[in-house]
Amino acid sequence: MESVPSNTPEIASAYNRWAGTYDSDPNKTREMAAAALRQSGLELAGREVIEIGCGTGYNTQWLAEQAARIFALDFSAGMLRRAKTRVPALNVCFIEHDIRAAWPLPDAGGDVAIVMLVLEHIEDLDAIFAEAARTLRPGGEFFVCELHPTRQLSGRQAEFTDTETGEQVRVPAYLHDISEFINAGLRVGFELVHLGELRDPPALQTDLPRVLTLHLRKQKR
Ligand SMILES: C[S@@+](CC[C@H](N)C(=O)[O-])C[C@H]1O[C@@H](n2cnc3c(N)ncnc32)[C@H](O)[C@@H]1O
């Protein structure tokens, strides 16, 4: 069993507490990320998809309708419970797993890997990109969609109100520059297909982007 950093319980238990209201809390970032995935142009029909940090299955449900098979990983038992209720589809396999440890998936079996609003909770991006490169086939695609780092610099991060205690909980987060994401991908053999920086409408250049997207492809050689 591989060891993982010791802050696992704090982040996982924060999401366990958030699970009950995650879907009903107003959350423009979650909505914008979901729209970005749907507009990404990823080829999903007939494909095997790996979704890491699937949460309550907000996007898993849509993925299950598009793709042949989904492996959906998350380390919060509470979030996964909601996901399993929401997505009873037989082509989805939910796995409780800390994605900082080696993913319980074979080499080169996946066509598409997807991570949405998760990597702010991960200190070492290299480990995640290395696992994406290992588990995707050559030519496989990796779609990364995260809170934009400039938004984090302005003080934003994943947070919620615990409805039982009234406490405002800020989930521990790490700041990653855009170059860190790109270089972590390049180091393990991805090429950049597209980079997006999405703003709230009317998308004035003077506003901070809300969401960062990276569409990467694993090189064939
Ligand atoms: C903000 S939610 C996003 C959920 C979903 N991707 C979405 O877009 O609605 C972040 C999710 O990442 C999961 N997560 C964070 N760190 C993780 C880790 N190290 N291993 C597995 N899951 C993790 C949390 O449990 C949570 O479900």
98: CA distance to ligand 1 center in Å? 10
32: CA distance to ligand 1 center in Å? 16
221: CA distance to ligand 1 center in Å? 31
Is this model's pTM higher than 0.85 or not?
A: yes
| Cβ atoms of residues 77 and 118 within 8 Å | no
Atom of ligand 1 nearest to the CA of 34: 8
Atom of ligand 1 nearest to the CA of 8: 19
pLDDT in tens, 128-149: 999 999 999 999 999 999 999 9
Altogether, the residues listed in the chain come to a count of: 221
Write the residue with the smallest CA distance to atom 8 of ligand 1.
Answer: 116
* Domains parsed from the chain with CATH numbers: 8-218 (3.40.50.150)
Pocket test for ligand 1, best of 17, 49, 75 (most atoms within 8 A of CB): 75
Is 76 a pocket residue for ligand 1 (Cβ < 6 Å)? yes
* Environment class of 98 (CB within 10 Å of its CB; exposed 0-12, middle 13-18, buried 19+): middle
pLDDT for 4 beyond 90 = no
Backbone angles phi, psi at 57, to 5 degrees: 85, 20
pLDDT in tens, 171-208: 999 999 999 999 999 999 999 999 999 999 998 888 99
